[in-house]
C-alpha cells in the first residue's frame, strides 16, 4: 500500500497558488488514471475528519493507493500525515509527498528519498510528527523571475500565471505521474 500525499492549503483562495502545487498534482493524477484502475472517473475526494484530510482510494499497478490532501494547512501537514499513516498502517518508506519547491526553477522536478526539510515548513512538520525523514518526496519547482520581487511567504502564496498553469497540466504534472509510477513499481 502507498500513501500519495499532495501538500497545500485548503480553501478556494489558495486553489491556484504556487504553494498548492502538491494538491494540483494529486488532482491531476486522479483525473488521469488509466481505465480499469478501479477508480470511478466521477469520484471526488471525500473528507475524513479522523485524518484531517480529503481522501480517495484506488488500486493502481497492483497496489492499493490512498491519495490525500491534508486540510491542516501547509505548516501543520505532519498532523494529517501522521493520522493517515496510523489509519492505513503504511510504512514511512511507502509514503510519497508531492509539494512545491521554492528553490527550484519553475517546471523542474526533484525526486528524493529521505533527507532534511531544506527549510520547507510542511516537510519539517511531517518529519517532526513521523519521527523520521525516510519517505519519498517529489518536489515541483515553482520559482520564476518574479521570485526576487517578493518575500518568500508572499511568493509561495501568489497565483500561477495562465501560461504556467498550462505548462503544469501539459508537461510538468504528467512527469510527476511518471515519477510516482517509478516509485510504486520499485516497491
Q: What is the predicted pLDDT for the residue at 100?
A: 98
Task: Say how far apart CA 138 and CA 45 lie, in whole Å.
Answer: 21
Strand 63-70 to 109-113 pairing: unpaired
Higher-scoring residue by pLDDT: 128, 184:
128
Give me the pLDDT at residue 184, please.
87
Bigger pLDDT: 137 vs 61: 137
pLDDT value of position 42: 55
Alpha-carbon gap, residue 142 to 160, rounded angstroms:
9
52-59: average pLDDT:
90
Interval 104-134: pLDDT, tens: 999 999 999 999 999 999 999 999 999 999 9
What integer pLDDT is reported at residue 88 of this predicted model? 96
Mean pLDDT of 160-173: 96
Q: What is the CATH number of domain 2-186?
A: 3.40.50.1470
Q: Dihedrals φ, ψ of 167, to 5°? A: -65, -40
**Overall size of the chain counted in residues:** 187
Q: Distance between CA atoms of 125 and 94, rounded to whole angstroms?
A: 18
Q: What per-residue confidence (pLDDT) applies to 33?
A: 66
- Positions marked active-site: 19
Could you state, in order of their start, the residue ranges of all structural domains in the chain? 2-186
What is the reported pLDDT for 64?
Answer: 85
Cell 518526496 belongs to residue: 137
Q: Is the per-residue pLDDT at 178 higher than 70?
A: yes
Q: What confidence tens digit (pLDDT) does each residue in 9-52 have? A: 999 999 999 999 999 999 998 887 655 555 555 567 999 999 99
pLDDT tens, position by position, 59-112: 766 778 899 999 999 999 999 999 999 999 999 999 999 999 999 999 999 999
pLDDT at 130: 98
Amino acid at each position: 500500500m502507498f500513501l500519495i500525499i499532495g501538500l497545500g492549503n485548503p480553501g478556494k483562495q489558495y486553489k491556484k497558488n504556487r504553494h498548492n502545487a502538491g494538491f494540483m498534482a494529486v488532482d491531476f493524477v486522479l483525473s488521469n488514471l488509466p481505465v480499469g484502475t478501479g477508480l470511478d472517473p466521477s469520484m471526488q475526494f471525500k473528507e475524513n475528519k479522523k485524518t484531517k484530510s480529503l481522501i480517495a482510494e484506488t488500486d493502481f499497478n497492483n497496489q492499493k493507493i490512498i491519495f490525500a490532501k491534508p486540510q491542516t494547512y501547509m505548516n501543520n501537514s505532519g498532523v494529517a500525515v501522521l493520522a493517515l499513516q496510523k489509519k492505513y498502517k503504511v510504512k514511512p518508506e511507502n509514503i510519497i509527498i508531492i509539494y512545491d519547491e521554492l528553490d527550484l526553477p519553475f517546471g523542474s522536478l526533484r525526486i528524493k528519498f529521505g533527507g532534511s526539510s531544506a527549510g520547507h515548513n510542511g516537510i519539517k512538520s511531517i518529519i517532526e510528527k513521523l519521527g523520521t525523514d525516510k519517505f519519498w518526496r517529489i518536489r515541483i519547482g515553482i520559482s520564476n523571475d518574479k521570485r526576487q520581487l517578493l518575500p518568500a511567504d508572499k511568493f509561495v502564496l501568489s497565483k500561477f500565471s495562465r501560461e504556467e498553469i498550462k505548462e503544469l497540466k501539459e508537461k510538468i504534472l504528467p512527469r510527476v505521474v511518471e515519477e510516482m509510477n517509478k516509485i510504486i513499481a520499485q516497491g
